[in-house]
Amino acid sequence: MVFDRNEQKAVVALLGAGSMGTAIVRRIAAGKKILLGDISEKALARVSEDFRHSGYDVETMVVNALKKDSVQAFAKKAAELGPVMYFIDTAGASPNQANPEHIIDLDMVGTGYAVDAFGEVMAQGGAGLIISSQAAYMYPIPNDIETQLLQIPTEGLKDIAFIKEVAMKNSGLAYMIAKRMNHLQAQRAAATSWRNRCARINTISPGVIVTPLAYDEFNAHSEGYQRMIDASAARRTGTSDEIAEAAAFLLSEHAKFITGTDLLIDGGVIAAIRTGEYQIG
């Protein structure tokens, strides 16, 4: 049986087939073509089957987000399927899951590869979204360093003294700096390559969101996370569906004047830190 006879449908590309990314795609992908990319064939099979059983038109592709050529092939595949109107990047590793170099390679350089690659294929009026983290607000990078980072091509980011001498000290620092760099990557793209294609790109910085992978962090640092939750205005964790609601807005026609910016969705954690209600560590 043919469920959808429409052709040349708008394409939704998702890099990282985790619960947060798939929740976002569910909000926006009805009647569109979905391309899922992930390094895990098992995850792709599980998620794509769930989408198909829910009536979505989906294809998959194994992608190594650490490799520039793999990410470029993913972007090329998306463009072959139709006009790429949406790109969501959720690929990343948390501090408890990886060493500093892997976090920098995946969360910073890998994200840069994806932003660059999709900056060459986005359709006019398209929109992109990078999932960053509230951690991006926890380690202020000096303005002169941020300016330097904004001007360096993706391939050269790891050669910057600040990255080699500070970000590589430990996984926590690597994660905070990489996630702040996501903001800068979106800003740069919004003003250059994505602008040239009349496409928008933004970031979302989630706070403590319950996902299967998040349990690695909770189990390793339960006391610290509990204090963070208790100090927040919301006094609870967030959900992938709440992130997806905000993401759907940023990717929609209602947000056409929004590009190159970050939306912090953390229940008030960063406000608690800045006002001294909560101390990190």
Q: What's residue 237's pLDDT? A: 92
- Check whether 87 has a pLDDT greater than 80: yes
Average pLDDT on 104-112 reads 97
| Phi, psi values for residue 209, rounded to 5° | -110, 130
Sheet containing 122-131: which strands, arranged edge to edge?
57-62, 33-38, 11-15, 84-89, 122-131, 200-206, 262-265
Q: For the residues 96-107, what does the mean pLDDT come to?
A: 94
3-class DSSP state of 279: coil
pLDDT for residue 281: 67
- pLDDT single digits (tens) 153-195: 999 999 999 999 999 999 999 999 999 999 999 999 999 999 9
Percent of the chain at pLDDT exceeding 90? 85
Cα separation, 273 vs 156, in Å, equals 33
| Backbone φ and ψ of 171, nearest 5° | -65, -35
Number of Cβ within a 10 Å radius of residue 146: 17
| 265 burial via Cβ count (<10 Å: 0-12, 13-18, 19+) | middle
For the stretch 212-240, pLDDT in tens is 777 777 776 778 788 888 999 999 999 99
The pTM is what? Answer: 0.95
**Domain range list for the chain:** 11-209+239-268
The arithmetic mean of pLDDT across residues 125-149, rounded, is 96
What is the band of 120 on the pLDDT scale with cuts at 50, 70, 90?
Answer: very high
Residue 222: predicted pLDDT: 76
Of the candidate ranges 19-28, 72-81, 217-226, the one whose mean pLDDT is the lowest: 217-226
**The pLDDT value given to residue 242:** 97
Nearest to 131 by CA among 271, 223, 263, 220: 263
48-57, 91-100, 106-115, range with the lowest pLDDT: 91-100
Residue tagged 């951690």 (tokens): 135
Q: Which of 155, 150, 258, 261 is nearest to 205 (CA)?
A: 261
Phi, psi torsion values for 36, nearest 5 degrees: -100, 130
Provide the pLDDT for residue 241.
96
Q: Is 77 left (phi over 0), alpha (psi -120 to 50) or beta?
A: alpha
Please give the positions annotated as active site.
Answer: 175, 179
CATH class of this structure's domain 11-209+239-268: alpha beta
Task: Give me the chain's average pLDDT, please.
Answer: 94
